[in-house]
Amino acid sequence: MSIEDILQALDEECRAECQEIFRRAEQEAKQILDRAREEAEAIRQARLAKIRAEAQSEATSILYSARLRAKNSVIQARERVVEKALQQAAQGMESLRSRGDYPDILAGLIEEGLSRVGGKVVVHVDPADGRLAEDILRGRGTEFEVRTDIQTRGGAVISDPEERVRIINTVEERLNRAREKLRLQVSALLFGEEVEAAGGGG
């Protein structure tokens, strides 16, 4: 075999090896590119999922905040209306003494106190109610003393002589004790809500 033949054979062998190397390199490059695309897609999907989750969380937060603000606005509006109604009720008590049934109201408030204080009683009333209180107490078979030493729109404070027991039955105190119950009742009346029956008499 001549040198030319040997060189040609080597040249062909070299070309074949180079082609195989190129083929393998191309295949490996394709695999690398495919993996890179898969990884890029996975990263993109992960980021997209994160963005979606963050957007959903933000939307939920905004919606919750809006609902909370709306609820607070409704509560504040109701409170204003209820408070106004209660103020009007309190103002109505300004003229309580001019009502024809006021003697019965005062008698009822005094009687309630008498049932809870034994023995001699001291009935504290507004000066405007002094004579009426004496008329109510007279003939009841109870030893009593009427003192016109409080300022009130109506009602009385009943105590024993030593002031160990004091039953405050003024209309202001009764209104304060019944305030929450009245608030619920007025709210139910104005806004159509169910009100659970409140136990006990205030």
Report the SS3 class of residue 157: strand
Could you report the per-residue pLDDT of 169-182, keeping only the tens digit for each? 998 888 887 777 77
Q: Is the per-residue pLDDT at 156 higher than 90? A: yes
pLDDT for res 105: 92
More confident residue, 93 or 30: 30
Q: Is the per-residue pLDDT at 202 higher than 70? A: no
User: How much of the chain exceeds pLDDT 70, in percent?
Assistant: 86
Closest CA to 160 of 121, 109, 133: 121
> What distance, in Å, lies between the first and last C-alpha atoms of the chain?
128
Q: Is the per-residue pLDDT at 66 higher than 70? A: yes
Given pLDDT bands bounded at 50, 70 and 90, which one contains residue 196? Answer: very low
C-alpha angle 29/33/39, rounded to 5°? 145
**Residues near 169 by Cβ (< 8 Å), separated by ≥ 6?**
109, 110, 112, 113, 155, 156, 157, 158
Residue 69 tokens, joined: 């603000």
Report the SS3 class of residue 125: coil
pLDDT for res 26: 81
Given pLDDT bands bounded at 50, 70 and 90, which one contains residue 167? Answer: very high
Ranges of each domain in the chain: 1-96, 99-191
Could you report the per-residue pLDDT of 93-119, keeping only the tens digit for each? 777 888 889 999 999 999 999 988 888
Given pLDDT bands bounded at 50, 70 and 90, which one contains residue 193? Answer: low
pLDDT for res 103: 93
Q: Is the per-residue pLDDT at 200 higher than 50? A: no
Average pLDDT, integer, range 138-163: 91
pTM over 0.75: no
Average pLDDT, integer, range 7-27: 75
DSSP assigned state of 199: P
pLDDT for res 1: 65
Residue 61 and residue 166 in contact, taking contact as beta carbons nearer than 8 Å: no
More confident residue, 75 or 195: 75
For 99-191, CATH number? Answer: 3.30.2320.30
